[in-house]
Structure 1
Amino acid sequence: MTRTTVETEIIAKAIHLACRAPSLHNSQPWRWVLGHAAVDLFADHERVVRSADRSGREAIISCGAALDHLRMAMAAAGWRTNVDPFPNPSERDHLASVDFTPAHYVTSAERDRADAILSRRTDRLPLQAPSQWESFEPVLRRTLDHSKATLDVVADDARPSLAEASRLTESIRRYDENYRDELHWWTRRFSLYQGVPPSALVSERERARVGIGREFPTTQHGRRRSDIAADHAKVLVLSTHEDTRADALNCGEALSTVLVECTTAGLATCTLTHITEIAEGRAVIQNLTGSSAFPQVLIRVGTAPALDEAPSLTPRRPMSEVLQIRR
Structure 2
Amino acid sequence: MTRYSPAINLDEIVAIDVHTHVEADGQGHHSLDDELMEASAAYFKADQLRTPTLEQIADHYRERRMAAVVFTVDASTETGHPALSSEEIARGAAEHNDVLIPFGSVDPRRGPAAVKRARMLVEEHGVLGFKLHPSLQGFAPNDPAYGPLFETLQELGSIVLFHTGQTGIGAGLPGGRGIKLRYSDPMLIDDVAADFPDLNIILAHPSTPWADSSISIATHKANVFVDLSGWMPKYFPPQLVRAAGTFLRHKALFGSDFPLITPERWLSSFGELGVQEEARRLILRDNAARLLGLF
Q: TM-score, normalised by structure 1?
A: 0.25
Q: Which has the larger radius of gyration?
A: 1
| Higher helix residue share | 2
Q: TM-score, normalised by structure 2?
A: 0.27
Which one scores higher on RCO, CA 8 angstroms, separation ≥ 6?
1
